[in-house]
Amino acid sequence: MDRREFIKIATYAGLGTFLLPGCHTARTSLPEERNLSGNQGNSAVISDLIIVQGSQPESMLTKGFEALGGIQNFVKPGNTVVVKANFSVPRLPEEACTTNPLLAAALIKLCRQAGAKEIKVIDYPFTNPVICLEKTGIKKAVLEAGGKIYTLNNGLERYFTPVKINGQALLEVDYSKDVLEADVFFNLPILKHHYITDVTMGLKNMMGLVWDRGYFHTGELHRCIAELATVRRPTLTILEAIRGITANGPTGPGPIQEYNQLIFGTDPVAVDAYGATLFGKKPAKLDYLRIAAEKGVGQLDWEKLNVKRV
């Protein structure tokens, strides 16, 4: 497929005003092979799901970490923390299409209390990144909380590095340097509708860590998402399911469902599997979850885990 054909297909797939260059199924010369398991941070021993009920992001976040033994189980003094939030579309917080800025700010404050050296909040908006940063309210919230925030747009050399995957759909991607180099990687998606995959949660949120996610939409989207999840497992996924749109996703606006839950887990597949049930979907019917589980990324049957409700 040549470049023109790719762009045509990506446009048809509705990728919005920005088309994103750079992801490949093959390269003529491969870079130095990387450790695809990545740095898993300071956790990896906690496998339970924590489900926090409520409507106030700050207190829900605190309760979740308390149930996990405290933020210090994940963040150590001097750590660099990267948070992959979702501010990919220019919507107001009350429109429930992007990560709640209060939640992002609360997470930064906890990380600072734990002694983190640096906390970066990143995303790769597929609409105007400047407007997304401002309108979602996340830039103001993150800066006031003491974190750094930026988009990965227009920064192939600065923000990405090639990583071999050797999957069926992906051989190699240009992946976020920040995430690969971080001591701690928090994935902070929002549960909402997506017009192709039905629902977007943690695994799909990580498409924003790839330079050319547009390629994913040209064919095997579900397999691409699953194979991407093998690059680096988040230290912890915190799925925001307080409020989310149930149609017209991912851009919105759309009808809003109030779930009033935050879901915490070190198993990214289990977190999404539970989230799928909230959205009225059977996890096994979401191909990217099923494939990710088959590849050993996590547990599809979340009910086999020790689930704690707070």
Q: Which pLDDT tens digit goes with each residue over 114-173?
A: 999 999 999 999 899 999 999 999 999 999 999 999 999 988 999 999 999 999 999 999
Sign, CA dihedral 131-132-133-138, equals positive
This prediction has a pTM of 0.86
DSSP labels, 24-76? BS--SS------TT---TT--S---EEEEE-S-HHHHHHHHHHHTT-GGGT--
pLDDT digits (tens, 9 = 90+) for 79-95: 999 999 999 999 999 99
Task: Provide CB contacts within 8 A for 86, sequence distance 6+.
Answer: 98, 99, 123, 188, 189, 190, 205, 208
Q: What is the mean pLDDT of residues 247-264?
A: 96
Structural tokens at position 81: 């923390």
pLDDT tops 80 at residue 39 = no
Residue tagged 């579900």 (tokens): 222
Question: What pLDDT, on a 0 to 100 scale, did the predictor assign at position 163?
Answer: 97
The pLDDT mean for the chain works out to 87
Question: What pLDDT, on a 0 to 100 scale, did the predictor assign at position 20?
Answer: 43
Structural tokens at position 218: 């040209």
Say which range, 37-51, 89-103, 248-262, has the weakest mean pLDDT: 37-51
Closest CA to 245 of 97, 54, 135: 97
Please report which helix (H) or strand (E) contains residue 105, including its range: helix 101-113
Please report which helix (H) or strand (E) contains residue 118, including its range: strand 118-123
Question: What pLDDT, on a 0 to 100 scale, did the predictor assign at position 41?
Answer: 45
pLDDT digits (tens, 9 = 90+) for 287-307: 999 999 999 999 999 999 999
299-308 as b/e: b if 16+ CB within 10 A: bbebeebeee
Structural tokens at position 257: 């469902």
Task: Provide CB contacts within 8 A for 67, sequence distance 6+.
Answer: 50, 52, 264, 308, 310
Q: How confident is the model at residue 46 (pLDDT cuts 50, 70, 90)?
A: low
User: What is the Cα–Cα distance from 264 to 273, expressed in whole angstroms?
Assistant: 12
Structural tokens at position 204: 């799909």
pLDDT digits (tens, 9 = 90+) for 263-274: 999 999 999 999
Question: What pLDDT, on a 0 to 100 scale, did the predictor assign at position 4?
Answer: 33
Q: What is the mean pLDDT of residues 43-62?
A: 84
What order do you get walking across the sheet with 148-151 strand by strand? 148-151, 118-123, 80-84, 184-187, 236-245, 256-265, 49-53, 307-309
Within 223-285, strands assigned E span 236-245, 256-265
Q: Say if strands 236-245 and 256-265 run parallel, antiparallel, or are unpaired.
A: antiparallel
Question: What pLDDT, on a 0 to 100 scale, did the predictor assign at position 164?
Answer: 96
Q: Helix and strand tally (H, E) in the chain?
A: 11, 12
Contact of 288 with 297, CB cutoff 8 Å: no
Task: Provide CB contacts within 8 A for 70, sequence distance 6+.
Answer: none
User: What is the Cα–Cα distance from 175 to 187, expressed in whole angstroms?
Assistant: 15
Q: How confident is the model at residue 57 (pLDDT cuts 50, 70, 90)?
A: very high
First to last CA, the chain: 50
How is residue 216 annotated by DSSP?
G
pLDDT digits (tens, 9 = 90+) for 99-128: 999 999 999 999 999 999 999 999 999 899
Question: What pLDDT, on a 0 to 100 scale, did the predictor assign at position 126?
Answer: 87
Task: Provide CB contacts within 8 A for 17, sequence distance 6+.
Answer: 126, 127, 128
